[in-house]
Amino acid sequence: MGGLVQLKERIWNKRRQAKQTKLDIVSEYTDGVVIPTAQIVTVLEKLISSGDKVILEGNNQKQADFLSRSLVQVNPEILHDLHMIMPSVGRTEHLDLFEKGIAKKIDFAYAGTQSLRISQLLEDGLLEIGAIHTYAELYARLMVDLIPNVVLSAGFMADRKGNIYTGSSTEDTPALIEPAAFSDGIVIVQVNELVDDVSELPRVDIPASWVDFVVVADKPFYIEPLFTRDPKHIKPVHILMAMMAIKGIYVKHNVQSLNHGIGFNTTAIELILPTYGESLGLKGKICKNWTLNPHPTLIPAIESGWVESVFCFGSELGMEKYVAARPDIFFTGKDGSMRSNRMMSQMAGQYAIDMFIGATLQIDADGHSSTVTKGRLAGFGGAPNLGHDPRGRRHATPAWLDMRQISTDETATYLARGKKLVVQMVETFQDGGKATFVNRLDAIDVAKKAGMPVAPIMIYGDDVTHLLTEEGIAYLYKARSLQERQEMIAAVAGVTSIGLNHNSATTQRLREEGLVVFPEDLGIRRTDATRELLAAKNIADLVDWSDGLYEPPAKFRSW
């Protein structure tokens, strides 16, 4: 048995040994698990090795920014060629790491403001992309073929044992720390505050057994109010589309559970539920269970009794007190503060909801869409995971079943699947007169230029069940062929080049067959779509609805 020989030769705990060696080396700089703030750069240089896979918690909102600002100060002659793993690349120092030669390769999910610079660094040969993921995929790979050596994370408070309180902003932290903590990786968490004993923490979100070091940051971690939309920017066209969404989709298919994107279109839906929705007698009948960040614009719907539950991907600055005061709606701990969890929310948003509705920047004639535009490697975030039909789903809900093709053949009907509703809600033209409907997605050329094998498509056409524009709704799930899907898309694409392809007779037939509806087909008068329908017209109204519990960040205050 050859195995016995190898058994005696091979070392099976290399990672543990390497970690222990590093822990021994830094022990002279640390006070137990506590790294003194001033020592962080030195300690990082000793705990990380060149070539290591390093997770840096850049989240949608929360940023381990003390650690990223510290990592960028290490000596590139000591520490180089790091393989960075980041859910979200959101800060300039994230990419300074590459310019300085500290890091070389990156696997990420979302780039946002740094998307143009990533493209440039790639072109300059200073950065190599492993792959661009959705959040869920990136977390998944941490357990398979991207097992991290080091995690740099962030929380609100820690005790001297290393127990962590993340507060409302748990976000990606558990998903990032668990794979490292159980593979002899090194887990370092920056916190705003250190306490002596676990009893002084409001609660424990990450147990000390999973954490190697904590460090008090020079200032509280950066957090961005990414999901706050000021109702004052909502236009009548958004309200028209919101009315169509409610009548032509939510009620029609009996949508009970859902996720909203962050555009003004879906914000308008949230804000007309207590007015227009109420007038239709829909309260308690539709959209009761949400997977969603704590959008301030959901406050009026919550206060007027539309919402039964909200499970949050992340937090939202200013919503802390409001959320804490509504524990029947939001998921909060014994201490009273919220716990968000992006990994679990992505799972809920993929598998447990009836509908995803969001916007995009470009849609082609087949219905493929992308937010990647010229020169920008923006990444995917969570949208493709929420915005596809999860074919691994097996439980039925009325909305899901409503997408099924009923056949005259009984067996075929039993073998037909329902679908998640995936709704694209876009104006045919965006601000600045840019057409949303295009003949060719910029994503294709971005892929060619960046050497990607597949174009970065956010949502594929065959996953879109509904396309909603100011012109009307195309019920794409009913399309019997690619050609019919194209005709339906053209019918609601307005005066864009795609829309101008439409044939009036065809569109008329599509309307008669119920494949496409215009506002008048739904009994909606365009003139009724006014801002008067908004339950809150500005941020101050939202504060009023919340009885002063919502505390908007300064940039949203105009009073």
Q: Which of residues 144-163 bind its own copies (CB under 8 A)?
A: 144-145, 147, 163
Q: Does 353 bind its own copies (CB under 8 A)?
A: yes
How many residues bind its own copies (CB under 8 A)? The answer is: 119
CA angle centred on 396, ends 391 and 400, rounded to 5°? 70
The interface mask with its own copies, positions 49-88, x = CB under 8 A, is: ----------------------------------------
For residue 71, the Cα-to-chain-centroid distance in whole angstroms is 26
CB of 188 within 8 A of CB of 180? Answer: no
Q: Which residues pair with 390 in a beta bridge?
A: none
Question: Considering beta carbons, is residue 147 or 237 the nearer one to its own copies?
Answer: 147
CA dihedral 6, 11, 12, 14 (to 10 degrees): -150
Q: Which residues pair with 517 in a beta bridge?
A: 473
What DSSP line would sit under 10-69, residue for residue?
--S-HHHHHHHHHHHHHTTT-BTTEEPGGGHHHHHHHH--TT-EEEE-B-SSEE-HHHHH
Q: Does 453 bind its own copies (CB under 8 A)?
A: yes
Q: Choose one: 455-463, 475-483, 496-504, 510-518; the region binding its own copies (CB under 8 A).
A: 455-463
Q: Does 387 bind its own copies (CB under 8 A)?
A: yes
Residue holding tokens 């147990």?
207
The interface mask with its own copies, positions 267-286, x = CB under 8 A, is: -------x------------
Question: Considering beta carbons, is residue 76 or 207 the nearer one to its own copies?
Answer: 207
Q: Does 315 bind its own copies (CB under 8 A)?
A: no
Q: Phi/psi at 495 (nearest 5 deg)? A: -100, 25
Q: Does 331 bind its own copies (CB under 8 A)?
A: yes
Q: Which of 388, 419, 478, 502 binds its own copies (CB under 8 A)?
A: 388
Q: Does 414 bind its own copies (CB under 8 A)?
A: yes
Residue 444 tokens read as 């294709």
Give the N- to C-terminal CA distance of the chain in Å, as an integer: 80
Touching its own copies, residues 177-216 (CB under 8 A): 178-179, 181-184, 198, 203-210
Q: Does 545 bind its own copies (CB under 8 A)?
A: yes
Q: Phi/psi at 498 (nearest 5 deg)? A: -70, -45
Question: Considering beta carbons, is residue 58 or 174 the nearer one to its own copies?
Answer: 174
CA dihedral 20, 204, 259, 58 (to 10 degrees): -40
Q: Does 480 bind its own copies (CB under 8 A)?
A: no
Question: Considering beta carbons, is residue 79 or 438 the nearer one to its own copies?
Answer: 438
Q: Does 106 bind its own copies (CB under 8 A)?
A: no
Q: Does 12 bind its own copies (CB under 8 A)?
A: yes
Q: Does 411 bind its own copies (CB under 8 A)?
A: yes
Question: Considering beta carbons, is residue 314 or 384 the nearer one to its own copies?
Answer: 384
Residue 141 tokens read as 């790979």
Check the CA dihedral 495-500-505-507 and report its sign.
negative
CB of 150 within 8 A of CB of 54? Answer: yes
The closest of 134, 108, 167 to 383, measured between CA atoms, is 134
Question: How is residue 220 annotated by DSSP?
Answer: P
Q: Does 303 bind its own copies (CB under 8 A)?
A: yes
Question: Considering beta carbons, is residue 4 or 505 the nearer one to its own copies?
Answer: 4
Question: Considering beta carbons, is residue 7 or 78 the nearer one to its own copies?
Answer: 7
Q: Phi/psi at 518 (nearest 5 deg)? A: -105, 165
Nearest approach in angstroms of CB 49 to its own copies is 16
Residues 6 or more apart whose CB falls under 8 angstroms from that of 523 comprise 247
Nearest approach in angstroms of CB 41 to its own copies is 26
Question: Considering beta carbons, is residue 66 or 306 the nearer one to its own copies?
Answer: 306
The closest of 251, 179, 189 to 421, measured between CA atoms, is 251
Burial of 56 (0-12, 13-18, 19+ CB in 10 A): buried
Nearest approach in angstroms of CB 377 to its own copies is 12
Distance, in Å, from the CA atom of 318 to the CA atom of 322, rounded to the nearest integer, reads: 8
Nearest approach in angstroms of CB 292 to its own copies is 11
The interface mask with its own copies, positions 420-449, x = CB under 8 A, is: --------------------x---x--xx-
Question: Considering beta carbons, is residue 41 or 452 the nearer one to its own copies?
Answer: 452
Q: Which of 347, 375, 509, 511 binds its own copies (CB under 8 A)?
A: 347
